[in-house]
């Protein structure tokens, strides 16, 4: 009997793209720390960190 909805917790290696697709496809979940931010993403976040741009909360 297959169990779904399992939660896997791991280190930063679990942030690999294959994990992003494979684990949820089986009906499971995973948690891991975010990898280092690429320079392009950091440039998008700088205005938020500097208080120049507000964040919008999104609720599901």
Statement: residue 24 has pLDDT above 90: no
- Domain range list for the chain: 7-49
3-class state of residue 42 by DSSP: helix
pLDDT for the residue 51: 92
Task: Tell me the pTM.
Answer: 0.47
Bigger pLDDT: 35 vs 14 = 14
3-class state of residue 21 by DSSP: helix
The two most distant CA atoms of the chain are separated, in Å, by 53
Counting residues of the chain whose pLDDT is more than 90, the rounded percentage is: 7
DSSP per-residue codes, 31-52: E-PPPPPPHHHHHHHHHHHTTS
Bigger pLDDT: 41 vs 52 = 52
């Amino acid at each position: 009997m297959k169990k779904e909805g399992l939660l896997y917790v791991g280190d930063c290696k679990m942030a690999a793209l294959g994990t992003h697709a494979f684990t949820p496809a089986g009906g499971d979940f995973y948690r891991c720390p975010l990898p280092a931010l690429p320079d392009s993403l950091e440039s998008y976040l700088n205005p938020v960190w500097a208080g120049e741009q507000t964040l919008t909360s999104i609720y599901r």
